Chains A and B, each alone.
Chain A
Amino acid sequence: MGEVIVVTSGKGGVGKTTTTANIGTGLVELGKTVVVVDADIGLRNLDIVLGLENRIVYDVVDAATGGCKIKRALIKDKRYEGLFLLPAAQTKDKDAINPAQMKALCDELKKDHDYVIIDCPAGIEQGFKNAIAGADRAIIVTTPEVSAVRDADRIIGLLEASEIEDYRLVVNRVRKDMVKRGDMMSIEDMTDILAVKLLGVIPDDENVIVSTNRGVPTVTNTASLSGRAFQNISRRITGERVEFLDLDESDGWFTKFLRMFAPNN
């Protein structure tokens, strides 16, 4: 029996879809079978980020309402063995399914796959309620900004009220230089206010934008810091203990060399 994990945030644009695509692919690279489900009905994006938009025939609304057999709606990714996508519908909206249908769908999917990862839409309305209906665990994605943290706090409150008690935080788009200058919230500030365990930290990385446009998740690129961060998150999800990356590695060797002489630089 697999696990259903919902990736949510409250705030839009913080990296839920990117995170879903990357940890889904990351887990498959560790040998797991994964279905990633796009629950953002009406505004689907997960298919684009995975480069699978040309293969969509059926979608999550068809599968959840019995319009087609669930297996027919799953798109098998030919590049990564074990990765399946259940895309959202683009021509309907979030009232097209209800939480009970979503839960039934998740219960069915977790029978045949190790992980079912749900890409939750932004907000706290019907779309959110649908997305969390079948979830066992939650990953909350946020950026180090006051507004994102405020929304994440609200979301955690709603998750607790729905009795999802296993939730962890991913902080996305961290810029270490800004944190050092005091222009950006530090990880400690955030975990302090949110009172939540940290799952991973992803540095701000141009490679992510390139990869989402190309439809190739950055987790497969071990040369990029963001790719390695996503790999570590995938490993932590399976229960492995992994050290957090030293984000200073984004500096070149010369800068690191200089730092030996001026350690406070």
Chain B
Amino acid sequence: MNLERLIEFKGVNHGLLLQIVAPFENFNDLLIGIRMKISAARDFFHGAHIVGVEGIILSEEQRVALFNLFTTKFGMTVSTLDSPSVQNFIFQNQQEEKEKEHNREERGVIQTPVVIDYSDYKTKIVRGVFRSGRTIDYDGNVVIVGDVNPGAEIRACGNIIVMGTLRGVAHAGKDGAEDAFVIASKMLPTQIRIADVSTRAPDGDESTLKTEIAYLKDGGVQIEEL
């Protein structure tokens, strides 16, 4: 039986997933199949990155053997040999822990609007034109050095600063931070959203626009010169 047919490599976001697609009699056959498949396209696999193994539950010894095969023999890197569903489970667990932490902090507070100080929070800086259809969703502040075209969406938990013309949609404080703001060199958005409030910028003479800031005041979005 052609041992290569036991396995397949699937390209996913961050690297390659090893999939066991057929039943095998002993683990050594599997190793041979993998070795054959990679040897057939050695250049392609050199430096490749394994991000998971699917279709088999590996024992400790099997893990070691597989790891050595990939790294020592073929010069690849391995981030994990867990299956994607296990990785997902671990990730979900981590997320739940984070949520619980977050809630634990807030439980002591009674009826205060959500105000999170994002000035010390992490910031993502993106350069270049943000074209129609492109989106960014970030757990922090976002700075765009370039224009944001209509049809593009910027969503941030923190603040948004556009060093260019903002013509798309900007949503600052998306998880409820009411003190978040949006700044743009030219404020011409299709919509501005801060926390739960959304509005559109007033029509004005485009040529006279200066840098403006949009923020929440008395439950409504205020836009004024910076």
- Residues of A at the B interface (CB closer than 8 Å) are 150-151, 153-154, 156-158, 160, 193, 195
If A154-B133, A157-B131, A193-B167 are given as contacts, then 19 extra A-B residue pairs at C-beta distance below 8 Å, sorted by A number, are A150-B132, A150-B150, A150-B151, A151-B132, A153-B131, A153-B132, A153-B133, A153-B149, A153-B150, A153-B151, A154-B132, A154-B151, A156-B131, A157-B133, A160-B131, A193-B147, A193-B149, A195-B129, A195-B147
A153 to B150, CA, bound (A): 9
Residues in B with CB closer than 8 Å to A193 are 147, 149, 167
Residues in B with CB closer than 8 Å to A157 are 131-134
Q: Mark B146-188, 1 if CB is under 8 A from A, else 0.
A: 0101110000000000000001000000000000000000000
A160 to B134, CA, bound (A): 12
B residues 176-204 in Cβ contact with A at 8 Å: none
Task: Report which residue of A153, A158, A195 has the largest number of chain B beta carbons within 10 angstroms of its beta carbon.
Answer: A153
A195 to B146, CA, bound (A): 10
Interface residue count on the B side (C-beta < 8 Å): 10
The chain B residue sitting closest to A160, CB to CB, is: B131
Q: Mark B39-54, 1 if CB is under 8 A from A, else 0.
A: 0000000000000000
From residue A33, how far is it (CB to closest CB) to chain B in Å?
35
Residues in A with CB closer than 8 Å to B133 are 153-154, 157-158
Residues in A with CB closer than 8 Å to B167 are 193
Question: 5 A-B pairs, CB-CB below 8 angstroms?
Answer: A153-B132, A153-B149, A154-B133, A157-B134, A160-B131
From residue B2, how far is it (CB to closest CB) to chain A in Å?
24
The chain B residue sitting closest to A153, CB to CB, is: B132
A156 to B150, CA, bound (A): 13
From residue A152, how far is it (CB to closest CB) to chain B in Å?
9
The chain B residue sitting closest to A157, CB to CB, is: B131
A151 to B147, CA, bound (A): 16
Residues in A with CB closer than 8 Å to B131 are 153-154, 156-157, 160
In the complex, the 5 A-B pairs of residues with the closest C-beta atoms, listed nearest first: A157-B131, A153-B132, A154-B132, A154-B133, A195-B129
The chain A residue sitting closest to B150, CB to CB, is: A150
The chain B residue sitting closest to A152, CB to CB, is: B132
A154 to B134, CA, bound (A): 8
Residues in B with CB closer than 8 Å to A158 are 133
From residue B8, how far is it (CB to closest CB) to chain A in Å?
18
From residue B208, how far is it (CB to closest CB) to chain A in Å?
16
A150 to B150, CA, bound (A): 7
From residue A197, how far is it (CB to closest CB) to chain B in Å?
13
Residues in A with CB closer than 8 Å to B149 are 153, 193
A157 to B149, CA, bound (A): 11
Residues in B with CB closer than 8 Å to A160 are 131
Residues in B with CB closer than 8 Å to A195 are 129, 147
Residues in A with CB closer than 8 Å to B151 are 150, 153-154
From residue A96, how far is it (CB to closest CB) to chain B in Å?
25
